[in-house]
Amino acid sequence: MAAVISLSPVFTTNAFADVNTDIQQKDAKLNDLKSKKADLQADLSSLVTKLESAQAKSKELQASFNKSAEQLKKLNADIAAINARIKEREGVLKERARSMQVNSNSNVYLDVVLSADNFGDLVDRVSAVNTIVDSDKAILDEQQKDEDALKSKSASVKKEQEKQQKAIASYEEQQNKIEAQKAEKEAVVAQLAAQQATTQQEKSTLIAQRDREAAAAAARAAAAKEATTVQPLAATETKTESSSNSSSNESSSTASSSNDSSSKSESTTTKKASSNTSNSTNNTIATPTGSGYDAMISTAYAQLGKPYSLGATGPGSFDCSGFTSYSFRAAGISLPRTSGAQYAASTKISSSQAKPGDLVFFSYGSGIAHVGIYIGGGKMINAQNDGVKIDSLSSGFWAQSLVGFGRVANF
């Protein structure tokens, strides 16, 4: 017995040393995970700043695009007005020219000349007629110059609009890349958080194990000490009863603690579920009458004319992927946030297989940068620089940027 008593502390000390070493390793791992999470969250903050900067620049460009569109509209109206005046004046001149030729077997020009009182009057009359003709011709020439100048300015504004449109597309493409990087880092942060939770749980398990072993060692030591003491039977029975009551109290205390912990856990879970339900409610859009394709396409058409804004998901304004996500959500279909992610999530199909309700994708040089909803007949409804509108896929800008079609729902 003395040998057992003398060896027990050695065994206990070794066991505690091993468990404490494991706990220290878990602490080191937790610190490493926290450090990595902090670095990733700093990167995420930087990406959010870049994203906001790209969106702000895109809005500036969109404002310039809208301004040039108004300018172009006015130029086109001016050109139409000048053309109308030219045609009207040309009509007057033609009529005058016909009148100055044979009219009812008389020559108006000769009548003007022959009715002169004298040579001086003749010169004045001829000069007057020529002056009228020259004046009319000068006015026509001036109007033609004005028309040419307006057409030249209109062409210049259109060229500037094309540059603005490409710049906006570039920033949308940049947004896709940043969103993709952001999603990757968020996924890693989630993984680190899971590892952190697992490591924390392992650490808690080790601490509980250490406490159990300490309690067991204390119990062994107490039992060994008691075994070396000779006691009367009555005293032994009294001590046993006391020990039993103490054990019962400890068991009751442990159960109470467990119940309290369970209650707190259930309360936390309930709060999280409530929070998630609230968030889900806030993100829900009104579903129009109908289901499937009808619900999706009626929602899409209801947005026609609404303005474009990079990063916007509706209902007041949209960017391209925000518009498609909003429309498909009406049919109960959840799409990824960006056009690049929507392309990755879709089943690629050929143009001959494309049908209304499929997505159509575009690239301006490096990666997917635009998405629209195919409505058949070589047309799509999409959110672009001019806002939500219907465009032909065969038009120059879209035809040269078309990548292909993708299916995300079998309507």
- SS3 call for 340: helix
Strand partners of residue 373: 359, 381
Contact assessment for residue 10 and residue 144, using Cβ atoms and an 8 Å cutoff: no
55: Cβ contacts below 8 Å, ≥ 6 apart: 171, 175, 309, 310, 311
Distance (Å, rounded) from C-alpha 411 to C-alpha 409? 6
Residues involved in catalysis: 320, 370, 382
Distance (Å, rounded) from C-alpha 150 to C-alpha 162? 18
Q: How far is CA 313 from the centre of its chain?
A: 7
**Could you tell me if residue 104 is left (phi over 0), alpha (psi between -120 and 50 degrees) or otherwise beta?**
left
Looking at the chain, how many residues does it have?
A: 411
Contact assessment for residue 362 and residue 165, using Cβ atoms and an 8 Å cutoff: no
What would the DSSP string read from start to end of 112-172? HHHT-SSHHHHHHHHHHHHHHHHHHHHHHHHHHHHHHHHHHHHHHHHHHHHHHHHHHHHHH
Distance (Å, rounded) from C-alpha 158 to C-alpha 275? 50
Distance (Å, rounded) from C-alpha 64 to C-alpha 202? 58
Q: Regarding beta strands 402-407 and 387-392, do their DSSP bridges make them parallel or antiparallel, or are they unpaired? A: unpaired
**Cα-Cα-Cα-Cα dihedral of 383, 388, 389, 393, to 10°?**
0
Q: Residue 82 to residues 79, 150, 292: CA-CA distances in angstroms?
A: 5, 10, 51
Strand partners of residue 406: 348, 359
Q: At what angle do helices 2-99 and 119-227 cross, to 10 degrees?
A: 170
Contact assessment for residue 335 and residue 408, using Cβ atoms and an 8 Å cutoff: yes
- The amino acid that residue 196 corresponds to is Q
Query: How wide is the angle at C-alpha 144 spanned by C-alphas 140 and 148, nearest 5°?
Result: 175
